[in-house]
Amino acid sequence: MIEDPLLGHQLANFRMERVVGRGGMAQVYYGTDVKLHRPVAIKVIDARYRDKPTYAERFVREARALATWRHDNITQIYYADDEDGLYYYVMEFVDGLDLGELMTQYVNDGSLMPDADVLRIGTAVAKALDYAHQRGIIHRDVKPSNVLVARNGRVLLTDFGLAMDVSQGSLGEVFGSPHYMSPEQARHSASAIPQSDLYSLGVILYEMMTGVLPFDDPAPAALALQHITDPPPPPREINPYINAATEAVLLKALSKQPYDRYETGQQMMAELAAAITSEQPEVAAVNERITLPPLPATGVEREGKFRQHLTVAERIAMKLGPEPEPVSRNTLTLDPQERRFVWLPLTIFLLLLLGAGLLAYAFVFNPDDTIAGQTLTAP
């Protein structure tokens, strides 16, 4: 394996230590801010685009613009620059898992994400998208691997590397991830609008609630055509626990025409939350294994799924282990020899205190008080 020449390399105050992600246009490194001594994520544009000034300059320009944003569900960008032909930006490092990893765990053990987690994650992504759309930015690559779930439960949307300023338009190429791409993006990236991002979120919600993608094909062109022309399989045919109201929300989110979808992410998630709690379909008991029909999109057979499943927080803890205990600045770490020196005077002090207490007890409560070897009998 060829070693990455950027490992150990330092850009400004940021040292790159290991690769944590690769995408179509860039790769992400775990690194350290050597001045502030904090972990960071460093995104470096791929070598294929370094000789294309239009892409490289836009990469840095948009990163600098995003650095002014402050939203709890969007990763914070600290710095952006270019150095020796390397275009990069630095953002906060999130200790957790991406949604794609979490969803794979559920698929592998034949279970589904709890509805409460679906709503929590979906709402966080929707809020992030609404915030971006209000500032004229379209993400264009909303997918599970770009949604991070931290140990503490915080959900963040990341990777605005393909983001498009509505006022500037698009460079014209088709960008995005085929499984989550809206019909209009599949035709041309210049057609992307805010509802395009909401379509991608709709695909994620569909996948979280059914365990499968609405459209799937190994050939990107065929997959794009499915998004453009084919209706998605009704979610209730895959997961009978989904009620009719929830199915209606998911199908509206995946409408072929952008303006048939929801106007905002907040509106979509509010309707989904109301739908999920509105009624429960009459199916098998909640802990009973149910047999699912063949999946219309892929033809893959599944044995069944349980209604009761691990929460996202439990899965993150299982994958990453317990969160390290914070160390108090007042806590001293001593080796065994140092501990002996600490305990010795303390032990002597306690023995002296105990002896003084015994003498006081004898003096106060013993009727025969002894002074200088003489016994005085109390009258």
Active site positions, annotated: 141
Q: What angle do CA 354, 359, 360 make, to 5 degrees?
A: 95
Are 158 and 148 in contact by the 8 Å Cβ rule? The answer is: yes
